[in-house]
Amino acid sequence: MNTNVQGNAMEIAAIEAVSNGEAARRPAPELRPGKLPPNASLVNIPRLISAYYTGLPDVSVATQQVAFGTSGHRGSSLLKSFNEGHVVAIAQAICDYRARQGIDGPLFLGIDTHALSEPAYASTLEVLAANGVEVMIAESDEYTPTPVVSHAILSYNLGRREGLADGIIISPSHNPPDNGGLKYNPPNGGPADTDVTSWMQARANDFLRNGLQGVKRIGFDSALHASTTHRHDYLDHYVSDLVHVIDMDAIRGADIRMGVDPLGGAGVHYWGEIAERYRLNLTVVNEDVDPTFRFMTLDWDGRIRMDPSSPSAMQSLIGLKDRFDIAFACDTDHDRHGIVAPSVGLLPPNHYLAVCIDYLFQHRPEWSTDAAVGKTLVSSQMIDRVSARLGRKVHEVPVGFKWFVQGLTDGSLGFVGEESAGASFLRRDGSVWTTDKDGIAAALLAAEMTARNGRDPGEQYLRLAEEFGAPSFERIDAAATPLQKKLLAALSPEQVSSTELAGEAIESILTRAPGNGAAIGGLKVVTKNGWFAARPSGTEDIYKIYAESFLGADHLQSIIVQAQSIVADALAHGAGATIA
């Protein structure tokens, strides 16, 4: 009894600290990064689920409103930011949007393994069925990764001009176990654009403001057995099509020994099917599904996150690197990847993106010679240097995978990736595969590269570093209140009066992305051999500083110091301050 009370108190204190911008970067001694969490720190699942149904959000409080970030609405029932009211309001807003847009095909509904995903799934289905939406739910109530939903939408819509499908994924991605999330993918299969999510956000908050008047809903059992609710074999459709994006023959022929950790996520049952169907030497090292995620080693701040790009969160798999030719993990909805190579351990996401680009554009002869590389503005300049050697243009956009959707759809972008370990790429014949991030395909590509090149991706990156130089990169996360995040998003070039960054002349100060002119929601400062970017997170109450230098670690630290000064002044004096 005392343990549960203590655990819940620690959990709420940790959540509230992050929400209020008070969480220190250094975790408490008992919550050590890279170590398993003490039982007392685990989320209280019964209390979390109870709060989902009993918590009544107050729309006058900003943190309790529906708010779509870079990937849907996320929050915690304990903070009244992800409760039943939010979910049914968003679901009705989606139904209303579909009616306005004439979207009347099936809606593919996916779910991950977070504790709040199950009740949110039930609430969503109740609203969809009441609105007469044809809904495709998984056979045997299987968990469904984000890329699998994207693949299903695109596969259904291929060759159609009417009766188009769309989808909902119930997942807060890699966020902590107390979080829930819901995101909408329109008929293009990718994340919804800002104009769509802004309309849905406003509509959902109106429903909350008016006591959910206008929200249609029937009981869950009735919804589950409605004539509009259908079963779909997501697993079979996706796994059987993987051969068209990955060279499975090469992996099998080289007998590559693979280890995979699904991190307790939605793809937990996909990997065994992939191994069996394609006769691969693949071992699933952890098949546990536990809503507390007690098997995860703690992240940098002492919290549990299923982040496959985090060295702290990936300690268990890193420790197994010498057992396999290549090992990998995916986050909870399997749209992000983490690659562990015997040569170097966990590859930083930027390193792996560069290796993927170097490999794919030399091993996909059916791709268009005009196909470009898509990157976010916080990704490494190594990508630009590799792309230039390959003769490929770089399409640089703000953070958010939605910016890549059109290029993947029409084949003008062959590979796209972001610093946070999300990527997708075309089928081997040059046609679209998914328009959302696909951690499964990105992970399997590491095995294909190892088989075809005879070197693991870590060794391949070291060759790139010899050719182009070895950049030093660092991302710093720090707690931020909603007001602080707003100030950071409003940073302008006029606030940087200095003409130099860490001793190099500043070549450009960006608030809009070069690739599409869209606002980046922050600031990027670029020199010949380095850069930094500062922006608020679109999914958590934190801000991020990204920095890179091709002149070594000391130069990188000089960049970071100057970047932190700019951010500190912006937070202290407001967005109108000028920084030297």
First to last CA, the chain: 55
Contact 184, 197 (CB under 8 A): yes
Q: What are phi and psi of 516, to 5 degrees?
A: -140, 0
Short-list 315, 414, 402, CA closest to 366: 414
C-beta neighbour count of 196 within 10 angstroms: 18
Which residues face 180 on adjacent strands? 75
Longest dimension (CA), the chain: 67
Can you tell me the distance from the alpha carbon of 334 to that of 229, in angstroms, rounded to the nearest whole number?
25
Structure tokens at 199: 């309309």
User: Which CA distances in Å does 174 have to 156, 285, 306, 307, 577?
Assistant: 28, 19, 5, 5, 35
Catalytic residue among 117, 123, 173, 310: 173
Short-list 220, 205, 175, 215, CA closest to 86: 205
Q: Is the dihedral of CA 412, 514, 479, 471 positive or negative?
A: positive
173 catalytic, yes or no? yes
Residues 6+ apart with CB under 8 A from 365: none
Strands (E), 113-221: 135-138, 166-170, 179-185
Short-list 487, 497, 492, CA closest to 512: 492
Whose structure tokens read 């939903």?
149
Q: Supply angle C-alpha 412, 418, 419, rounded to 5.
A: 155
The 10 Å CB-count burial string (b at 16+, else e) for 158-174 is eeeeeebbbbbbbbbbb
User: Which CA distances in Å does 328 have to 43, 259, 494?
Assistant: 26, 6, 43
CA 241 centroid distance within chain: 23
Whose structure tokens read 């990188």?
556
Which pairs with CB-CB distance under 8 Å and at least 24 residues apart come from 554-557?
A: 555/472, 555/502, 555/503, 555/529, 555/530, 556/472, 556/473, 556/474, 556/530
Structure tokens at 489: 């998003």
H-state helical runs in 146-192:
146-157
| Residue 47 parent element (H or E) | helix 45-54
Residue type, 142: E
Q: What are phi and psi of 273, to 5 degrees?
A: -65, -40
Active-site residues: which are they? Answer: 173
